[in-house]
Each structure stands twice: as structure tokens, then as C-alpha cells.
Amino acid sequence: MLKEKNWSYVESVDIFNISDKKDVSDEYIDRGILIVRVFDNRNPVKGVNVVVKSPYLMKINPKRYKKPKIVLIKNTNKAGEAVFKLGEKEVYNRDK
């Protein structure tokens, strides 16, 4: 049933400790991994803000949504990488 809804993230919460949340998405859906690497003259760059956008809402309701929606944001680590897990059946957009 989850696959029919285009889910990209599933979280488990302990009912006795609601701050205890776990990403259990891989148990329910197939996700792809996107690795963004940022280098300057072959040197990794830490702290670059990487933004992933999706045009999904523009496609289902173009009158209301005129621009892709930001769905994920991460900063690159000391290796110059930002790693994302993207949900199935979703379409993402990359700004240059």
C-alpha cells in the first residue's frame, strides 16, 4: 500500500518517548542514493549548502505551485560530500 502513495520517508516513533525517532524507510520502500561531491582545485570543500528540489507539486497542482519545492538540504562534510536517500517514483530538480 505504501508504494501507491509515492512515499519517500517513513519514521518510527517510540510512543513512550516521542523524541526517539528512527528512519525505517528502507524497510518499506526502495530508495536511491545521491552523492554530491564539491571540490575546489581537487580539494574537497566542507560546508557547501546542497539543496534538492522536486517539481512534483508543480505537476499535480500547477496553478498553486509555480516553482519546485525544496525537499532536502544538507551541508557537505569534510570530504566535500552530501549524501541523500531519495524516495522511489519521485522526480527531483537540480539548480546549476
State pLDDT tens for residues 68-93: 988 889 999 999 999 988 876 544 54
CA-closest candidate to residue 72, choices 17, 46, 34? 34
CA distance 25 to 8: 7
Q: What proportion of the chain, given as a percentage, has pLDDT over 70? A: 77
Q: Give residue limits of the domains in the chain.
A: 2-86
pLDDT at residue 51, rounded to an integer: 93
pTM of the model: 0.64
| Distance between CA atoms of residues 87 and 10, nearest Å | 10
Do 41 and 24 contact (CB within 8 A), yes or no? no
Which one-letter amino acid corresponds to residue 89? K
The cell for 51 is 539543496
Q: Quick: pLDDT tens for 18-34.
A: 888 887 777 767 778 88
Asked if residue 72 lies in contact with residue 84, where contact means CB atoms within 8 angstroms, the answer is yes
